[in-house]
Amino acid sequence: MPNMRIIGGTYRGKKLISPNYEGVRPTSDRTREAVFNILYSLLPQEWGAYRLLEVFTGSGAFSLEAISRGVSKVCMVDLDLTAAQKNVALFSKESDKLKLLRADGTKLPEAKEKYNLYFSDAPYNQNLSEKALAEAAEKGWLEQGAVCVIEVHKSENLVPPAGFDQLDERIYGIAKILIFKYIGIE
């Protein structure tokens, strides 16, 4: 597994602990940088106005990158938080902004607060991304207008659930990045 690091913001260059167990495939630094560049041009407000919900967080690299760039709060969701906990421990100064939730991204509890930025990098080719996105909307995790970034395998077809408009689609290596806006459920 290649070394992971924060690529922008306050903690630029900070090394992260790479998970060393099978089944975890962190978003590459290159793809993560591209996604943040897209978001930078797409989001109408400064990073501090955003709260990120990341499901299938794995190592937590995406959330920690967001914190480094100034996002006000993140909630990292995964069934196995081992890798994310190790990386969160490296950011002790940001502990008040970081929340870990042990849960299945496709079976979320009712939300206690809403998020206006969403990222999902589910295991490839298991049809989990669409279910997780629908679940986040149905359980009240997403604010109207939330920007949702989903990474899937480039061969996967993802049909967004009702209430989402597609804004962008890009391919980086084996990853396809889809960006949606949550317009709400009637």
Domain edges within the chain: 4-182
CATH topology for 4-182 is Rossmann fold (3.40.50)
pLDDT computed for residue 31 by the predictor: 84
Note down pLDDT in tens along the chain; length 186 residues.
557 899 999 999 999 988 765 555 667 778 888 999 999 999 999 999 999 999 999 999 999 999 999 999 999 999 999 999 999 999 999 999 999 999 999 999 999 999 999 999 999 999 999 999 999 999 999 999 999 999 999 999 999 999 999 999 999 999 999 999 999 876
Decide if 41 contacts 62 (C-beta within 8 A): no
Strand partners, 147: 117, 181
Strand partners, 53: 75, 118
Q: How many secondary structure helices (H) and strands (E) does the chain include?
A: 4, 9
pLDDT computed for residue 41 by the predictor: 92
pLDDT computed for residue 2 by the predictor: 58
pLDDT computed for residue 26 by the predictor: 67
Q: Which two tokens stand for residue 105?
A: 């991204």
> What span, in angstroms and rounded, lies between the C-alpha atoms of 90 and 72?
18
